[in-house]
Amino acid sequence: MKRAFLFLLIVALFSSCGDDEKNITISGAFALYPLAIKWAEEYNKIHPEVKIDITAGGAGKGMADVISGNVDLGMVSREINPVEHERGAFEFAVTIDAVIPTINDKNPNIAEVQKKGLTKENFQDIWITEKLKTWGDALGTKSTDPIKVYTRSDAAGAPETWAKYLGKKQEDLKGVGVFGDPGLAQVVKQDKFAIGFNNIAYVYDKSTGKTSPGIAVIPIDIDGNGKITPEENFYGTLNELMEGIAKGIFPHPPARPLYFVTKGEPTSQTIKTFLNWVLTDGQQFVKEAGYVNLSKDQLEEELKKLK
């Protein structure tokens, strides 16, 4: 009787391990979350035996979760730092996204904003030095409407990338802290004097290709001449923006690669097969989901890491 029970227990344990091998757990960056969901849906059509659990909580959480072994893949929307590499972080670039400055679409100054744009120096004086207090200050007009500045409260790739564009770190960004990409987008939609920043997926509606109701993009005056030239004006639709990023016209940062991160080089065949699919067949869904494809050379470099 005891031997039969022990045999059944061993079988159950091995069966459980086999089930675990078919599971993929993912957490992290809000930036990559919509595309990761799309990839999981499409992957399950050809691999229904693989269960993929995905949660968003910011790049910081994704990195912490994967390094601690709580998940198989961390979604990270910023560069991996040396300390994280020392702790075992092993990254795969899987797509390109961007952080874009946002404004409420009912802001009384929006016509001037879209005509003139704002420069990197303007953004520095809004989020870093706080020299610009009103929309008139920023646009060179007589407007006394206040600039209501918002940032992210959670450790994440979007604020770190936006801060890097401004020559600083996330903790240097001033403003009212709001948790998560969806939260920051919602605050901008609710406050007509707001200024914020978001990943593309939380600004544009991928079904229409237009910006979501309540929110608009602040064009970046890249050459600093006080107006948005035709070459700088690529925010009208999602496709226009993605083309501007792909061509390198939109600054890098705040455009940047997004990563899946493993702890050490992946050894699980389930994980390796999934990553291989993401970097090959899965790339056909990138543009559809509102992201920018990596170049052929970049994809080949990432695939080499799996061999």
**Residue 13 contacts by C-beta under 8 Å, 6 or more apart in sequence?**
none
* pTM of the full structure: 0.85
CA–CA separation, 97 vs 89, rounded Å?
21
Q: Are 221 and 118 in contact (CB under 8 A)?
A: yes
Instruction: Walk along the chain (307 residues) and give the pLDDT tens digit of each residue.
Output: 444 434 334 434 433 333 457 899 999 999 999 999 999 999 999 999 999 999 999 999 999 999 999 999 999 999 999 999 999 999 999 999 999 999 999 999 999 999 999 999 999 999 999 999 999 999 999 999 999 999 999 989 999 999 999 999 999 999 999 999 999 999 999 999 999 999 999 999 989 999 999 999 999 999 999 999 999 999 999 999 999 999 999 999 999 999 999 999 999 999 999 999 999 999 999 999 999 999 999 999 999 999 8
> Domain residues of the chain, as ranges?
2-97+257-304, 98-246
Cβ count within 10 A of residue 240: 13
| CATH superfamily to which 98-246 belongs | Periplasmic binding protein-like II (3.40.190.10)
2-97+257-304 placed in CATH 3.40.190.10: yes
* pLDDT per residue as tens digits for the range 31-64: 999 999 999 999 999 999 999 999 999 999 999 9
Q: Tell the burial category of 167 from Cβ atoms under 10 Å away from its Cβ (0-12, 13-18, 19+).
A: exposed
CA–CA separation, 176 vs 188, rounded Å?
11
Q: Residue 143 has which token pair?
A: 């407007």
92: amino acid identity, one letter: F
Cis status of the peptide bond prior to 182, with omega within 30 of 0:
no
**Same fold across 2-97+257-304 and 98-246:** yes
Q: Which long-range contacts (CB under 8 A, 24 or more apart) does 16-22 make?
A: 21/268, 21/269, 21/270, 22/49, 22/50, 22/51, 22/270
* pLDDT per residue as tens digits for the range 279-288: 999 999 999 9
**Residue 56 vs residues 51, 77, 209, 250, 259: alpha-carbon distances, Å:** 17, 12, 23, 26, 14
**Residue 86 contacts by C-beta under 8 Å, 6 or more apart in sequence?**
none
24 φ/ψ sector (left φ>0, alpha ψ -120 to 50, else beta): beta
Q: Residue 200 has which token pair?
A: 């593309």
